[in-house]
Amino acid sequence: MPQFDTITFFNQVFWLVLIVFNFYFIILRFMLPSLASSLKARNKNLRYTEESR
């Protein structure tokens, strides 16, 4: 079976770790700050509308 081939096993693990780390870094660096600022603005807007009632 090719997934258990010892010659290509390290290469597959290396690329898997590299892709997962890059995906984690992209989410952490670019997507999470925009999501956090959006949630912060939403929470601020909800508090403002509840206070004005």
Please write the tens of the pLDDT for every residue from 3-31. 677 888 888 899 999 999 999 999 999 99
Quickly list DSSP for 6-36. HHHHHHHHHHHHHHHHHHHHHIIIIIHHHHH
How far apart, in Å, are the Cα atoms of 18 and each of 4, 22, 24? Answer: 20, 6, 10
Tokens, residue 27: 């989410």
pLDDT computed for residue 1 by the predictor: 67
Q: How high is the pLDDT of residue 17?
A: 97
* Contacting residues for 11 by C-beta, under 8 A, at least 6 apart: none
pTM over 0.85: no
